[in-house]
A = this chain, B = another copy of it.
Amino acid sequence: MRVVVALGGNALLRRGQKLSAENQRENARVACRALAPLAREHELVISHGNGPQVGLLALQGSAYTAVETYPLDVLGAQTDGMIGYILQQELGNELPFETRVATLLTQIEVDPHDRAFDDPTKPIGPVYTAEQAEALRREKGWTIKPDGDSYRRVVPSPLPKRIFGVATIETLLETDCVVICAGGGGIPTMYADDAVPAGRRLVGVEAVIDKDLASALLAVDLRADALIIATDVEAVFSDWGTPQQRAIRRATPRALAVSQFAEGSMGPKVRAACSFVEQTGGIAAIGSIADVEALLRKEAGTIVSLEAGGLDLVGAA
């Protein structure tokens, strides 16, 4: 089988943990131990989030004032290098020496007319005072919104439109190489208007693409058999946070479409899973990274498929 596993930010950094190199490495090691059996048996593509990591780079960049903080596309590429390296090394340590593992940078095109650009929503970097916020709006053209008593920069989260380099990923999969790619939802890019003789010019965009939606598009483009969205909770729950909460074990995209899930949390994961299943007829699973083998066997988590037969709830702990 060809399998895409999207590693959530919480699979790489547990909630409340300090963003130290040691914590990231330890969590990556645990995740890679869980992933190694999949790498042995299947064509495996690993994508990952980068929210906390790109936030740290923005904070570090702001703290060092001699050089202006780099744009978000560049910071995202930096996190791809960092996280990709740690995953590549730790996964390599769990596999026979001759197994190939490669990390590729992935540029993804977004639509300049995506409505997300009209209403940036993703907070990033330091908190500011009202005065700092005003100055940054003026000087850098940033969108800055209130965040409790202070202010934070917000950036758009446009939909992924086209993934560049899919053929390169396929080439590597066909040589039994595990591929780590599309980190942080991919590096957001678009075609600039200032056409050059060689054709349109691709440029970076200060935005953040949702990593689950990017992973779903990647899984579609790669004609994957399964998309596994790995996080730190065991399944999708209905009525989350209420006494009625129940783990959803099996569902069709249609059954999930009528339910509400938290934006910035389960919402995009459910949409990504449904999108993949609807477009390919494949299987999507949402659940804990620790259960990743069982997820692929449809024995854990929330399994989304066309044949699931509605919404099959079970009582949760």
A residues bordering B, Cβ < 8 Å?
A: 18-21, 56-57, 59-68, 70-71, 73-74, 77-82, 84-86, 88-89, 92-97, 100, 102-105, 107, 164-165, 167-168, 171-172, 175, 177, 187, 189, 196, 198-199, 201-204
Contacts and interface: CB of A to CB of B under 8 A. Distances in A.
B172 A68 contact: no
Given A60-B64, A63-B64, A102 B168 contact: yes
Question: How many copies of the shown chain assemble into the complex?
Answer: 2
B59 A64 contact: yes
A84 B94 contact: no
A175 B84 CA distance: 23
B202 A89 contact: yes
A106 B80 CA distance: 13
Contact of A105 (B88, B94, B172): B88
A90 to B, nearest CB: 9
B21 A93 contact: no
Contacts of A199: 93, 96-97
A64, A66, A167 — most chain B CB neighbours (10 Å): A64
A66 B127 CA distance: 14
Nearest to A77: B85
A100 B170 CA distance: 12
A59 to B, nearest CB: 5
Contacts of A92: 164, 202
